[in-house]
Structures are given as C-alpha cells and as structure tokens.
Homo-oligomer: A and B are copies of this chain.
Amino acid sequence: MSAPRRSLRHSIAEGLRERIAARKLAPGDRLPSEPELARSLGVSRSSLRAGIALLEEDGLIRRLHGSGTYVTHRPLMRNDLSRNFAVSSMIAAMGLEPGTVDEHCGAEPAPAEVAHELGVEQGAPVSTLRRVRTADGRRVVDAIDWCRTDLIGPDEMRDLEGGSIYAALAGRGMRVHHAVATMTPDVAVDEVAERLAVPRGSLLLTLFQVDSTADGVVVLVSREHHLADAFQISVYRRGPGDGEDDR
C-alpha cells in the first residue's frame, strides 16, 4: 500500500519481515499459499515470489516444493555484524544510550595500510576523524576513520559531528555498498588505553574495516578498538551446504 518507494518486492519482503519480527508469523508457521497471500496483499504472485526469495536468501523462511513455505527459527540477533554498520546503532540495539566524546579531526598522513586501501600515495594527507564512543556514558569504543580528502575535506569532517559519515558520503554520490571487516584480538596500549580510560593491557577486539561503493571504490577505512566486555559481537552464519537438499 502507499507509494512503493523502492521496488515492490523489497516492500513485500519488508512487510513480511516485520510480521515475522512481530511474531505474527511465528517460527515453524506455514505461510498462506502463494496465490492466496498474493491476493491478500494485492500483488501478483510473481512479485510475491520475488519478495519471498529475498527472505529465503536471508534465512528467515524456507520453501519446500509441494509442501509450503515455513518460517525458520532464525534467532533475532541484536548485533549481527554482517548487517549493522554504525557503532552507534550497535550500542542502541543493546538498549544503551550512544554518545561521543574526545572527538577531533584533521588531515594527517595516511598510514601505509590505509593509504594502500584508499588508493593514495603513502604519506599523502587524508581526512581523519577520531572519537570515543560511549554507551550510557561508559567509554567502550575508540574509533578512527580515514577518508580521501577529495571526498570529505578535513573541515567537513567537523561539520558532520553527530551526523553519520555514511550519510555525508551518500550525499556526495558515494553510497557505501559493502564493507569487509577484519577482527583481531588486541590489548590496550598507551594512547588507546588512555582514551578508553582502562588499564594498559586490557583486552580489546579490534575491527579494521574497508568500506566500498558498488563500483568497488574504497571510500572509507576505519579502525575500531572495542572493549572486550563492552558488548557481544556476533555473526549469523549460513549453513555449509549452499543448495537446499536433504540426502
């Protein structure tokens, strides 16, 4: 109903997703048959199937030929690393109040690894944004963002305080399509320990992340030092077998 801002199948998928999240469709339930459901939604069966396909690939539902379409018992995760992006929304998902302190930005020479990912000369100046994220006032993450100066200038970094970097990039036609995050265990040393206000040697989980557009252009590189006990970082993993077959 209303204006299908995005494609119809995405609207359909979103609608079903909400009904599943609201437990109106409980795990194990069988959905109405496709013709029936399509009629009740006022869409064609092919569009409905396209929408259902999205949920199936997501692991939310399972289709059995000749039998029906069933809601899987997929856990509702608050922190799925393969989904959420922003740290602040991660904190909010835990029911805590996200905040930011010790924020400062500027233009600094890019470290070797960052320069390589961004595709600029090593030591070339890049816009940086460093800040400590808090949850209910507690310092939990020390994050550094690097961005090409021609995309976001050092001054612009300051302007978007509070606002998301992703929104700023999207406004410049550089929409982040995907990212690759690499996780390593770590201990807090010197500056990081100080910023997080924890003893040196405290356990950290460090995420090194590279954000790209659909065209493969790397637009943002970041490193986040997470306190070990700040919050759980989880990943939803799909089954080993790609195809659906039993025996």
Contacts and interface: CB of A to CB of B under 8 A. Distances in A.
Contact of A237 (B27, B70, B83, B175): B83
Given A234-B180, A239-B176, A185 B205 contact: yes
Copies in the assembly, this chain: 2
A190 interface: no
A4 to B, nearest CB: 10
Interface stretch (A102-110, A144-152, A212-220): A212-220
A243 B12 CA distance: 12
Given A49-B50, A86-B240, A178 B59 contact: yes
Contacts of A10: 242-244
Contacts of A75: 180, 212
Given A175-B241, A239-B177, A245-B6, A57 B59 contact: no
A58 to B, nearest CB: 7
Give the contact-size bracket for chain A: 35 or more
Contacts of A233: 182-184
A214 B178 contact: no
Contacts of A203: 185-187
A65 B170 CA distance: 19
Interface of A: 5-7, 10, 14, 27-28, 46, 49-50, 53-54, 57-59, 62, 65, 70, 72-75, 77, 81-86, 166, 170-171, 173, 175-187, 203-205, 209, 212, 214-217, 228, 232-247
